Structure 1
């Protein structure tokens, strides 16, 4: 998805699992089984983006 300001958000489903892997436009990554929680994390940028790498 691309936001109106041009940021790119990516969410990929990990085949064989119920896990979603998201990458924010800032480069931070996050995993979750809940698509709503994943979008809330992405759209809350920069809140929740304190730690580098995958979080669950």
Structure 2
């Protein structure tokens, strides 16, 4: 028997984690959005209302690399 635990993935996978050393729970949606609460019912309501009430985390807008052209022929 192994100590590994398989993690589920997909468009309908939700997770609720206990935040160590606190009374808080962290709900994580499959889109990456997160919400903290002490009430597990509130977290499940929030998770199951997807996408109403929460959006995925904003993507960091990184500038595209600039392509330099080397001119020659003089």
- TM (norm. structure 1) is 0.73
Q: Larger relative CO (CA 8 A, sep 6+): 1 or 2? A: 1
Gaps of 5+ in 2: 1-7, 59-74
Higher strand share: 1
Could you say which residue in structure 2 is the equivalent of 1:28?
33
Gaps of 5+ in 1: none
Task: List structure 1 runs of 4+ shifted beyond 2 angstroms.
Answer: 50-53
Distance 2:53 2:22 in 1: 24
- RMSD over aligned Cα, in angstroms? 2.3
